[in-house]
Amino acid sequence: MGGLAMEEMPLLALFEQARKFHLAASESSVDQDVVKKGCEMFQKCEDMIGKLALFSSNETKEDISTNNLKYLLVPYYLAELTEKIIQDDRIPIVKASYAKLKEFTGYLVGYASFRALFNRNPALSAAGGILGLVLAMLVETLLFIINQIQSSKSFTPSFTPTTKKNQ
């Protein structure tokens, strides 16, 4: 990448480089260093997006610059890469990925609900963003519950109960 350290890269260059790592990680035989480097780059993108204040809960999708729309995908990409991290205890990995997916869906639902419910009323802008995040959390929780129910239905016990005969 032209010798620039990650800290020195502009957001666009960092994002594009991180997407290359994401694409490479889609291969099943990818090296864990590639996955972890991609996660690190997307986390740096998140930091930069926050410092630049590209998105706000009090704006509609129309308020977002077309050039910045792609950065809404950062939590999604980070969630996908996080899931690919291999370690013995998968629970923290799944929780981290779940949190990023919830953040991503929160953006989408927030912008959609803001537009549908408040139609650019400045007094209700913050409420629209917060409502979107709450709705996204509810949707994610519902999907999680459905997934758990489906996986418990397919569960088969690993032992067969036996009855004892009286002798």
* pLDDT per residue as tens, the chain (167 positions): 455 788 889 999 999 999 999 888 887 677 888 899 999 999 999 999 889 888 776 666 667 777 888 888 898 889 888 888 888 888 888 888 888 888 777 777 766 655 555 555 555 555 555 556 566 666 666 666 666 666 665 544 444 445 555 55
What pTM value is reported for the model? 0.61
* Residue 1 resides in a domain: no
Which residues, including other chains, have CB under 8 Å from residue 24's CB and lie 6 or more apart? 30, 34, 38
Q: How many domains does the chain have?
A: 1
> Residue 25: CA atoms inside 13 Å, Cβ hemisphere, count?
24
* Residue 25 resides in a domain: yes
Cβ–Cβ < 8 Å for 134, 165:
no
For residue 141, the domain's CATH number is 1.25.40.540
Domain that holds residue 48: 6-152
* Residue 166 resides in a domain: no
Burial of 104 (0-12, 13-18, 19+ CB in 10 A): buried
